[in-house]
């Protein structure tokens, strides 16, 4: 029979082996979240995202938003930029700003989160609009980007479009996302990012455009929804999986050898 000291030796060996499997700790590489319809309608849309929220498969921590508002005119009665609370508790902005987008003008933007502070900027060579909030803290592991363009009214407003291009997450290019309304339908599009953590920096370029009269409020908009998914939290990292397997294999081999020698 193996003594308790022999079992302890196996445990120590397993932990050391696990440590070797994990060192050095490689940086996380952002991955794309597969987006599949959660209901009978093909394609991933707002109804599908709301099902993720309702089922507890994703929880928003905060949302950075850009919307047409009233395009910075008419007394700036409508916000164009915001850092918003979780939609489950109303989604009200904790920081907001007025902004004149201009029709088709391309803007740089950045979103940074260090675990306790959110910094959201929209800028060009002449000006920078910056919003910050320290209301949010805690871990994140997933982001959903959303773009939305209203349906043309067919008379005074057509060709509504919004784009997020040159997207880069912590130095990794993640492509682009865009929506364009038509005479028969609105358009909503999503992009999901997994395997993230704080601190992070997301940068890119954005433009809102239309023909005729400008839309209003959130009829032309984008959101960056930052939060957590329990599925992502429960999946060990590849390095950890390799370390665990290696520790178990070596531990089993040593145990077998000792049993033969008894």
Q: Do the domain assignments include residue 174?
A: yes
- Helical (H) or strand (E) element with 62: strand 59-69
Which has more pLDDT, 247 or 136? Answer: 136
Identify the bridge partners of residue 83 per DSSP, sorted by sequence position: 64, 95
Q: Do the domain assignments include residue 16?
A: no
Q: pLDDT-based confidence at 42, cuts 50/70/90?
A: confident
Give the model's pLDDT for residue 173: 97
Is pLDDT of 45 > 80?
yes
Distances (CA, A) of 8 to 18, 90, 223, 247: 15, 53, 52, 14
pLDDT above 70: percentage of residues in the chain = 76
CB atoms within 10 A of CB 41: 10
Spatial distance between the Cα atoms of 102 and 104, rounded to a whole number of angstroms: 6
Q: Do the domain assignments include residue 262?
A: no
- CATH classification of the domain holding 94: 2.60.120
Q: What are phi and psi of 242, to 5 degrees?
A: -65, -40
Q: Do the domain assignments include residue 85?
A: yes
Q: Which two tokens stand for residue 166?
A: 């040159």
Q: Do the domain assignments include residue 43?
A: yes
Is pLDDT of 36 > 60?
yes
Spatial distance between the Cα atoms of 205 and 26, rounded to a whole number of angstroms: 29
Q: Do the domain assignments include residue 258?
A: no
For residues 69 and 217, the answer to whether their CB atoms sit within 8 Å is: yes
Q: Do the domain assignments include residue 51?
A: yes
Give me the numbers of helices (H) and strands (E) for the chain, helices first please: 4, 13
Number of domains the chain is built from: 1
Residues 46-83 pLDDT 10s: 999 999 999 999 999 999 999 999 998 876 668 999 99
Note the pTM of the prediction, 2 decimals: 0.79
Q: pLDDT-based confidence at 38, cuts 50/70/90?
A: confident
Residues 124-138 pLDDT 10s: 999 999 999 999 999
* Segment 179-183 mean pLDDT: 97
Domain of residue 171: give its range. 31-235
Q: Which two tokens stand for residue 91?
A: 């989604």
Q: Do the domain assignments include residue 260?
A: no
- Helical (H) or strand (E) element with 3: none
């Amino acid at each position: 029979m193996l003594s308790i000291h022999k079992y302890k030796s196996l445990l120590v060996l397993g932990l050391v082996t696990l440590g070797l499997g994990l060192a050095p700790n490689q940086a996380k590489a952002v991955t794309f979240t597969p987006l599949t319809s959660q209901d009978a309608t093909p394609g991933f849309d707002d109804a599908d995202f709301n099902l993720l929220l309702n089922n507890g498969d994703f929880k928003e921590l905060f949302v950075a938003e850009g919307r047409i508002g009233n395009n910075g005119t008419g007394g700036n009665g409508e916000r164009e930029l915001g850092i918003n609370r979780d939609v489950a508790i109303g989604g009200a902005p904790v920081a907001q700003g007025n902004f004149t987008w201009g029709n088709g003008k391309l803007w740089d933007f950045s979103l940074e989160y260090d675990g306790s502070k959110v910094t959201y900027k929209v800028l060009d060579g002449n000006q920078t609009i910056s919003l910050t909030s320290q209301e949010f803290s805690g871990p994140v592991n997933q982001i959903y980007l959303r773009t939305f363009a209203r349906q043309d009214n067919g008379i005074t407003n057509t060709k509504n479009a919004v784009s997020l291009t040159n997207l880069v997450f912590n130095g990794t290019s993640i492509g682009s996302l865009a929506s364009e309304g038509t005479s028969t339908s609105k358009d909503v599009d999503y992009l999901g990012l997994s395997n993230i953590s704080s601190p992070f920096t997301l940068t890119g370029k954005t433009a809102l455009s239309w023909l005729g009269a400008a839309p209003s409020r959130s009829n032309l908009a984008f959101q960056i929804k930052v939060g957590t998914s329990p599925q992502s939290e429960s999946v060990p990292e590849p390095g950890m999986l390799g370390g665990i397997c290696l520790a178990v294999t070596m531990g089993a081999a040593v145990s077998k050898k000792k049993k033969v020698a008894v």
